[in-house]
Amino acid sequence: MIAIPAIDLREGCVVQLIGGDFEKEKIRLGDPRDVARRWAGYGFQRLHVVDLDAATNRGNNRSLIRDLLADSTAPIHVGGGVRTTEAVESLLADGARSVVVGTRAIEDEDWLREIAEANPGAILLAADVRERRIVTHGWTRELPRNILDFIEELGGLPLGGLLVTAVHREGQMAGTDLPLMEDVAAASSWPVFASGGISSMNDLRSLEDRGLAGAVLGMALYTGVLDPRLLAEEFSE
């Protein structure tokens, strides 16, 4: 299993939000390029960049993301507000390892199929989940869809993986939602990446034991709860 630091961008800075609430910003760092270099320097083999502004229609950090892609020595997943085929193609052309799609892909499965088949293995589907219900539009809209039913509906699309964020655990360092992640991993034919609430090495080992391909880490890394060197060494691929 691979551990992947999150670089969440807001107004040109790296931030961490409690529970995804823009009013509850706990961390703000002013130089995203430095943050990316620092994580790569610890030995992390991949980074996960999210444009929070684009995801919530508050603007975007597109030029900054382009700079991060050009500068980083570690492959990067990029997501947040990616809702057009042109945006997918542009990010891949700029060097993104994978493009993460969420809201539109969940609401428009024909579009998801189109971009997945055009870019096999390069599309990560982000399913943000609150108590097993999918939420979209920057976690502001809850859909009447169970995540396991949704996975079954998607069939054999050539996705690069499925990123499941337990929104009800996000930024709270209360531990991962292990039953959710275990059930998703069992149901999915794609690699599954977990996010939300991961706060200990035991969380990560438990996820690995249950077949998760990776984990995206935020608050626990930025607050020093997890040792980045130990983490990068044990969970490198």
Active-site choice (8, 51, 53, 177): 8
Task: Tell me, yes or no, if 177 is annotated catalytic.
Answer: no
Q: Can you point out the beta strands (E) in 18-122?
A: 25-29, 47-51, 76-79, 98-101
Active-site choice (51, 53, 128, 177): 128
| Total Cβ atoms within 10 A of residue 83 | 17
Q: In b/e form, how buried is each residue of 158-175, taking b as 16+ CB within 10 angstroms?
A: ebbbbbbbbbbbbbebeb
Q: In b/e form, how buried is each residue of 86-117, taking b as 16+ CB within 10 angstroms?
A: ebbebbbebebbbbbbbbbbbeeeebbeebbe
Distance CA 154, CA 170 (A): 25
Q: What are phi and psi of 4, to 5 degrees?
A: -130, 115
Task: Tell me, yes or no, if 8 is annotated catalytic.
Answer: yes
Q: For the chain, how many residues are written? A: 237
In 3D, which of 152, 144, 139 has the Cα closest to residue 109?
152
Distance CA 117, CA 38 (A): 35
Active site residue ranges: 8, 128
